[in-house]
Amino acid sequence: MSDAIKVGLLGCGTVGTGILRILSENRADIVARLGADIEVVKILVRDLDKARDPAVPEGLLTTNPGDVLAAGPDVLVEVLGGYEPARTLLLAGLEAGCHIVTANKALLARHGAEIFRAADVAAKDVIFEASVGGGIPIIRTLREGLAADRIDSIHAIINGTSNYMLTGMSQRAASYADVLGEAQARGYAEADPTMDVGGFDAAQKLSILISVSFGVDIPFDEITTEGIDRLTPQDFAFARQFGYAVKPLAVAKAHLPKDPTAADAKIEIEARVAPHLIPLDAMLAHTNGVFNAVRVHSHALGPVLFYGQGAGMMPTAAAVVSDIIEVGRNIQRGTSGRLPHLAFHKELVRPMGLRPSAESECPFYLRFTVRDEPGVIAQLSTLLGAHGISIRRMVQDQSEPGKPVPVVLLTHLAREGSVKAALAGIDGLPFVTSPTCYLRVEDIH
């Protein structure tokens, strides 16, 4: 047996506790795979008096970050969450000669460049499988398994909380507040759940997926991000009537330049996070509850789907422990830095940038709330037509006399900028009683 791989654990909440449980429950398999033990040498927490799981060795807990580095870990495993003190501790760890494993997508999406630079200087690994898709091995797959192929698009359900909530609202007619409370109680939600329901957690993850898929850094706060809070029960019902499910989707597509020989030719990345309509028979439409799924379409392979639990103690911890094993193997073989952190040698990547969202094109679902009176449909379609938007299907719900009614339609392919301009005009019409709800449609299978 090789020497034990020593781990300094930063954080012992949902994921940290799961890591300790997996190291104990799966020890025999881990040792057989790694050829060595994984030994946790110190654990940083905020509150020493908190009740802990029996898997947590109380004697290793400390509130002093210095104690963790003083214990001489080979690997710092960061499951604190947030930006600070995580950033400072990881930079200090790299300087002290530690490799890094983190589940913290927020940290990587904001400070990844700085951390990866420091890791290059220190010639250490930074591995982050659990930062996207919880237990699904998607980062390793994109970095290694698909290394030969050109990625065309990603359609992903990568926020377990939002998916859990939309599934509950759609299947059990549960209220928004109830399903959010359930997701929090199960440990899926971020400390600030607006990160989940507002789409920001998924945007951070999408920014990481874009980096390892296309080789370009798109800051998460430049990605169009829309939350799930504007959906109503009737949107699920209308979508179903049209043959669609409503899912919280993160989308990224690479558009090759029309004229690759032009001096300013560059690949444009279309990226957004929002609730979308997808066909009821699409595999992603059957991704329910806290499950995540990432559909990758690449040039040679075509579509491939990765499905599994995207949050929660044990699935997430399993991904973190796999990263520790990868670092351990690199330490044993002297192969640290074998892969570029984000899969590409940046200086060799073709020119790329973010496509302005107004230029994106897809079909749209539009739900107008209008007074039921003569000429309404004619005016709606005239305004849409004036912006080049063509209607594919339309339904009007039966009205209760005197009450506003929903008029719902699906468009053909439409430019996002045109749809927004048309809605700005329509929402100012006297018979429109509430702002129009729009959702994008992705006809994937």
Residues numbered 332 to 351 that lie near ligand NAP (CB under 6 A) are: none
By beta-carbon proximity to ligand NAP, the closer residue of 188 and 236 is: 188
DSSP 3-state of 199: coil
Report H helices in 37-148: 65-70, 86-95, 105-122, 138-140
In contact, 56 and 12? CB cutoff 8 Å: yes
Asked if 8 interacts with ligand NAP (CB under 6 A), we say no
Smallest gap from Cβ 134 to ligand HSE, in A, equals 5
Which is nearer to ligand HSE, 284 or 311 (by Cβ)?
Answer: 311
Structure tokens at 135: 């237990």
Under DSSP, is residue 23 helix (H, G, I), strand (E, B) or coil? Answer: helix
Site string for ligand NAP, 42-61 (x = CB under 6 A): --xxxx--x-----------
Catalytic option among 205, 258, 266, 346: 205
Q: Which of 60, 75, 79, 249 binds ligand NAP (CB under 6 A)?
A: 79
Distance in angstroms (rounded) separating the CA atoms of residues 18 and 321: 9
CA distances for 328 relative to 58, 245, 260, 308, 344, angstroms: 25, 43, 43, 25, 23
Where does residue 295 rank: exposed (0-12), middle (13-18), buried (19+ CB within 10 A)? buried
Using CA atoms of 267, 295, 15, 210 in order, give the dihedral in degrees to the nearest 10.
Answer: 0
Distances in Å between the Cα of 338 and the Cα atoms of 144, 331, 375 are: 11, 11, 66
Per DSSP, the three-state class of 423 is: helix
Copy the structure tokens of residue 79. Answer: 């499951």
- Binding partner of residue 11 among ligand NAP, ligand HSE, none, CB under 5 to 8 Å per kind? ligand NAP
Residue 16: name its binding partner from ligand HSE, ligand NAP, none (Cβ under 5 to 8 Å by kind).
ligand NAP
| Whether residue 124 lies in the annotated active site | no
**Peptide bond preceding 193 in cis form (omega within 30 of 0):** no
What mask of x and - would describe binding to ligand HSE in positions 151 to 190, judged by CB under 6 A? --------xxx--------------------------xxx
Minimal distance, residue 136 CB to ligand HSE, in Å:
11
Report the partner that residue 187 touches, choosing among ligand NAP, ligand HSE, none (CB closer than 5 to 8 A by kind). Answer: ligand NAP
Per-residue x/- mask for ligand HSE, residues 128 to 147, rule CB under 6 A? Answer: ------x-------------
Instruction: List contacts with ligand NAP (CB under 6 A).
Output: 11-16, 44-47, 50, 79-81, 85, 103-104, 130, 134, 187-188, 190-191, 311-312, 316
Active site residues: 205
